[in-house]
Amino acid sequence: MIRKAVIPAAGLGTRFLPVSKSQPKEMLPIVDKPVIQYVIEEAADAGLRDVLMVIGKSKRAIEEHFDRNFELENALAARGREAELEAIRRISTIARMHFVWQRELNGLGDAVAYARDHVANEPFAVLLGDTLIESDPPLTRQLVRVFERFRDPVVLLEEVPREKVHRYGVIAGTEIEPGLFKITDLVEKPDPSNAPSNLAIAGRYLLVPEIFEHIDSTPRGKNNEIQLTDAMRSMVKNRPMYGLKLNGRRYDIGNRLDFLKTNIIYGLRRPDLRDDLAAYIRELAAGMPKT
């Protein structure tokens, strides 16, 4: 049984400056809930209720969000605001939260290495804290099922335009059944002209403790960082690895435009916001000059 999830969230979030100077990008709201809460809810839905978050400088707000705030709770109770009170109390019960500080920002592989003691000898999931994924059934639950079937690592894959593969870790492999690949190689941020495919690793991993040995022996790669993709490339030489193609939608909250788009999409799904927001969007669109 898989119980533990690791969420790397130590990055500087420079694409969101100046707001990310003191506010973690993972705490930016999608409507009225921070991005990171959606991610932890996805993990908890799959039964992964033991969550280690790897954080860095200026990330205290994440810790505070998942802790109790008795002063706020008492104020809401005194005003009879039961719905809001229930919502904020629930936050601290989603999962058992643990935090560890990444002393230097040396890449995703290095961040995952901080989970070594916490996961011990158990398989574990890695969920990137700036990526939301919608699928039915929920994506992490699907990865758990694949792992339980094969007992080997599995990652989420997404088909991306070939001209954008340089942004991702990309796999080579064989489709062994619809949507499921056996991976033979992985390359971090390849040149589009010689990328092995356009199947990109999309922010969700289910790994085994063996990965830590490969991280230890992985030299610095792209951006002079210890890349998790490079460590997985070493591991796949000696152990089977699988990729599950996304049947759903991924929202990358790591850039401004997708962040804004995601807020609009989620806002239009809210019964209390949908009609007024749709009307406002139509009004704005009608007033835009034609190009």
- pLDDT by residue (tens digit) across 15-55? 888 887 878 888 899 999 999 999 999 999 999 999 999 98
Structure tokens given for 234: 């070493």
What pTM was estimated for this model as a whole?
Answer: 0.91
Per-residue pLDDT of the chain (291 residues; tens, 9 = 90+): 799 999 998 777 778 888 878 788 888 999 999 999 999 999 999 999 999 999 887 778 888 898 989 999 999 999 999 998 999 899 999 999 999 988 888 889 999 999 999 999 999 999 998 889 999 888 999 999 999 999 999 999 999 999 999 988 999 999 999 999 999 999 999 999 889 999 999 989 999 999 999 999 998 888 888 999 999 999 999 999 999 999 999 988 878 899 999 999 999 999 999 999 999 999 998 887 876
In a domain, 80, yes or no: yes
* CATH number of domain containing 215: 3.90.550.10
b/e map of 38-49 (b: 16 or more CB within 10 Å)?
bbbebbbebebb
Token pair recorded at residue 288: 């835009």
Range of the domain at 109: 4-254
Residue 20: its pLDDT value, please? 78
In a domain, 193, yes or no: yes
**DSSP assignment of 226-252:** --HHHHHHHHTTTS--EEEE--EEEEE
Q: Is 87 inside a domain boundary?
A: yes
Within-domain flag for 158: yes
What is the rounded distance in angstroms from the CA atom of residue 202 to the CA atom of residue 204? Answer: 6
What is the total count of domains within the chain?
1
Q: Is 221 a domain residue? A: yes
Residue 287 lies in a domain: no
CA atoms in the 13 A half-sphere facing the CB of 82: 0
Q: Is residue 63 part of a domain?
A: yes
Does some domain include residue 261? no
